[in-house]
Structures are given as C-alpha cells and as structure tokens.
Amino acid sequence: MAFATIWELLAVGRDGDAALGAPETKALDFAGLRALARRTVADLNAMGIGRNDRVAIVLPNGPEMAASFLAIGAGATTAPLNPAYRADEFEFYLTDLKAKALVVQAGEETPARAVAAKLGVPVVELMPDRAAGAGSFTLAAGALKGVPAQAGFADTEDVALVLHTSGTTSRPKIVPLAQANVCASARHIGQTLALKPADRCLNIMPLFHIHGLIAAVLSSLAAGGQTVCTPGFNALKFFAWLEEAKPSWYTAVPTMHQAILSRAERNREIIGRAGLRFIRSSSASLPPQVMQELEATFGCPVIESYGMTEAAHQMASNPLPPRERKPGSVGIAAGPEVRIMDEEGNLLPSGSLGEVVIRGPNVTKGYEANPDANLKAFANGWFRTGDQGTIDEEGYLRITGRLKELINRGGEKVSPLEVDEVIMDHPAVQQVVTFAMPHDKLGEEVAAAVVLREGQSATERELRDFAAKKLADFKVPRKIVFLAEIPKGATGKLQRIGLAGKLGLGA
C-alpha cells in the first residue's frame, strides 16, 4: 500500500489489530490510534498549531511518546527532546527550534517547563489515558487558542520530524525530515526485515532518537504490526518484558546487546521460550564476536544495519536468511543508493576506500538555515555521511570509521574500529573502545578503554602484547585503561570523540 504521510501510514493496519503496547497495559489498536491522531490534529489546530509548526516534545520513554510522535506528526512537526537535558540544553534546543509549543506530561517535573516559561513558549500538558489503551492521551491546551496558517493533516513534503545532529565536535545542526522521508525509511526497513501484521517489536531504544522512532515504531506500524514500548532500556527488566510481550524482534545499539548478553546465562529459560524471528542492531558497529554470541544465545539471525539521522535512519542492512549476512559488514544498500566517493566528489569502483555517500527518498533535503554545512554535505546530489568505508564485489558495505574519528598519529591514520576488533578477541575482554589521546609530539596517540568479563583478569601489558600480535606497532594502544563501564552518550552509543578528556587522559 502506498503511503507518504504519517496519516496515510496509520491507515495500513487493520482496525482491531494491536498497534501500540506497553508492559502490563492493554494495547491500543489501529482504529484507536487513528482516532487519537484525528483528535490530536483537531486539538492542535484549535490551539493555532498546524502543518510545519514545531511542537517540542519532552516525555518519558514509553507508549505516550510513541503515540505523540505519530498523532502530533500527523498534522504538525514533531521535535522530540531528550528528557534528561539540563535547563541550559533545553534553552538551546527550544530557542534553536523556534518551537510553537512544548508538550510535557502532566505531573512530570522537567526543567523544560521553566525554560519554556522564560522563552514564552506555551506549555501543553499531556494526560496519559492508559485505560483507553497504551499510548492514548488527551492534551490540555490551557489558554492557548488560535487559527493555524495550514490546518488538517500534513502533506508529503511537510516536515514531520526535526532532530539535531549528534555531532560531538561542532554546534548541533537541525535535520528536517519530511513526511515522505520518514515514510520511505519505514517502508525500507519493513522490506528489509519482511515485517508483517503478525510482527511485534519490543522497543527499548530512546524515542528522541531516530533509531527508536523509525526502526522500532514507524516501521512496525507501516507493516500493520505492533510496537511494545518499554520505559527505556534496562538490562535487569529486559527478560521479563521479553516474557510478557512475546515480541518477534527487537532493535538496539551494540552496548545494549552486550548488556543483555551479560545477563543471558541466568535467563536461559526465558530465552528458550522467546522465539524471536531475528534481532536487529544499528547505530554503531557491532563487533563480530557479539553478533556470534547473540546468534548462539537467541538462536536467531542478527541483522546489522547502518543508519543515520539525516537518512531518517536506515541506509544499508544485512539481509535476512537465506541471503548472506556478513559479520563486520553493515550489509547492502537498503533503501537509498549507497556509493563510495573520493574527496574530489568522484564515485569510486568497488573495493576502493572513501567516504560513504547516499541519495534516495529517505534522505533529508538539507540542514536547516545552514548553507555552509549543506555546501559541504552535498556533492552532485549525493549526501556525504562523514563515514569512511568500502563496498565489496557483492555490494556489502564495511564501515572503517567516522572520518573525523580516525586517529591521526603524527600523520599515520589509525582506525579505532580495527583496533577494537583485535582486542575484542582476547578472552578476558567484554568491551573495548579505542580512541585518540592527545600527545605533545604526535598530536594524537592511540588509547583504549576496556571492560573485563566478570571474574576475568588481564593486565595492560598482556593486552598490549596481545594486540601487537595482529597490529602494527603504531596501532597498538599506548595506554589501556580498565573501567567498570564505558561512558556513553544519551542514545547509548559509545563516544570516541572527547573520551580522553572525560577519562582525564591529557598530553
């Protein structure tokens, strides 16, 4: 079925089929979700908010966050923000977005309220109505009244979602994603994973990130299937949710998969009954060792995909069996065209190393009000991802690093991913992240942070000797620190840039 807006997408599911769920909550069916979207758009219009007007959303993770993305997104532009932000961060984002309103949950304290008051952004309270089904809510407009410039359901080229880039080195940029962009991405993911109405996704990803919004929520609904929304990732509760929700799949970032694996042994029985059709991993590179362990533990294929905010998430993905999945590869183009480009803007043949570029119906038209960034980001109609990689003869893409994450050791480039892969093979190592450490002569030197497996030990010397068996000297980390946990960003991704500073490793 053809759909290019969220409202059209919501028409795919059958009336009585479950659309949204949550632990210990009655599901909301598609008829209920459509009624919620229709009512929400009418309520927003009565507040003077219409198509392309921005509504910032600060809600706890859960079915209401998913439902508000869908219902508000049906008739306005959603701007989900991380509820963990501090006042200064809310001030930056609310100002940068020029939000017309801020939606918060009734009774939930958040510094966003005071910031909105200071900036004169009207606050709309969302009241969950779990008795009516997971995600159901009503909005209290307060004194907000008006007539929007454009009322009704959004059109294909209207902006459905704005997110900021997760850039760690520069000021975050606004990424506008049109209704058609997010719908194309949802359709691509559904095709890759052969999603059907019978599928049920367990969402543990944060819903202020593109991965959770599109891969878990929108792709499921676009296939007429269901998403069960948890309050957010929790390795201790994961297995109980698995048992209760009986999902056919889940999607997560590698650090979450690793945390799940570390508790798998004591949850053998639940895993045995789970019957997952597949597990999806995206947003950061999945070490082949973790992929193997996950497949062996859950007895289902692990599908690694490659996603990015600017592409409304999915760009490439390993295919389901019987087609081959290649560990260490992010798979084949899965939606947009994917190619490798050199610095001059020439497309390169298979086997060459260069920048990954994409173009297709899911890709943003460009950063908002940022001609400089757009000049750099687009070349001959291709969007430059900033990732470095290579495509093999069979079309499988391997990401070799983030161009700006490459460690530059006095001119010698070291891919942190390559070092990670080698050290991961040491039996005592559970997790490793290689990063650049400032060095007074070389500029940068290679360092690594390691989490050891429970009950195992290894010294810095042992790990360096181990790495030196497979890596040239210049790639062997000069410094290895042992940690109980590696600091992560808001989305659960490991952040190589800035890690040296966080760990107090200076020149």
Which residues in this chain contact ligand AMP in the complex, by CB under 6 A? 166, 210, 282-285, 304, 306-309, 330, 385, 387, 399, 402
Q: Is residue 339 within 8 Å of 347, Cβ to Cβ?
A: yes
Could you please report the per-residue DSSP string of 377-403? Answer: HEETTEEEEEEEEEE-TTS-EEEEEEG
Min dist CB 416 to ligand AMP, Å, is 11
Whole-angstrom Cα distance, residue 239 to residue 355?
Answer: 39
Of 37 and 311, CB closest to ligand AMP: 311
Of 130 and 402, CB closest to ligand AMP: 402
Give the orientation angle of helix 288-298 with respect to helix 254-262, to 10 degrees. 50
Of 259 and 284, CB closest to ligand AMP: 284
Give the orientation angle of helix 63-73 with respect to helix 30-46, to 10 degrees. 60
Q: Is residue 6 within 8 Å of 160, Cβ to Cβ?
A: yes
Of 12 and 330, CB closest to ligand AMP: 330
Helix (H) or strand (E) holding 447: strand 443-452
Whole-angstrom Cα distance, residue 505 to residue 86?
Answer: 26
Of 19 and 214, CB closest to ligand AMP: 214
Min dist CB 44 to ligand AMP, Å, is 27
Min dist CB 205 to ligand AMP, Å, is 11
Of 67 and 357, CB closest to ligand AMP: 357
Tokens encoding 237: 């509760």
Q: Is residue 294 within 8 Å of 279, Cβ to Cβ?
A: yes
Q: Is residue 446 within 8 Å of 419, Cβ to Cβ?
A: yes
Could you please report the per-residue DSSP string of 309-368? Answer: GGGTEEEEEPPPTTS---TT--BEE-SSEEEEE-TTS-B--TT-EEEEEEESTTS-S--T
Min dist CB 425 to ligand AMP, Å, is 18
Of 75 and 287, CB closest to ligand AMP: 287
Q: Is residue 340 within 8 Å of 387, Cβ to Cβ?
A: no
Of 192 and 283, CB closest to ligand AMP: 283
Min dist CB 309 to ligand AMP, Å, is 3
Of 192 and 309, CB closest to ligand AMP: 309
Instruction: Compute the half-sphere exposure of residue 245: CA atoms within 13 Å on the CB side of its CA.
Output: 30
Min dist CB 257 to ligand AMP, Å, is 12
Tokens encoding 427: 């039996």
Min dist CB 497 to ligand AMP, Å, is 11
Which residue, among 125, 131, 148, has the nearest Cα to 41 in the 3D structure? 148
Give the orientation angle of helix 416-424 with respect to helix 460-468, to 10 degrees. 110
Min dist CB 239 to ligand AMP, Å, is 25
Looking up tokens 């007539």 gives 147
Min dist CB 285 to ligand AMP, Å, is 4
Amino acid identity, residue 60? P
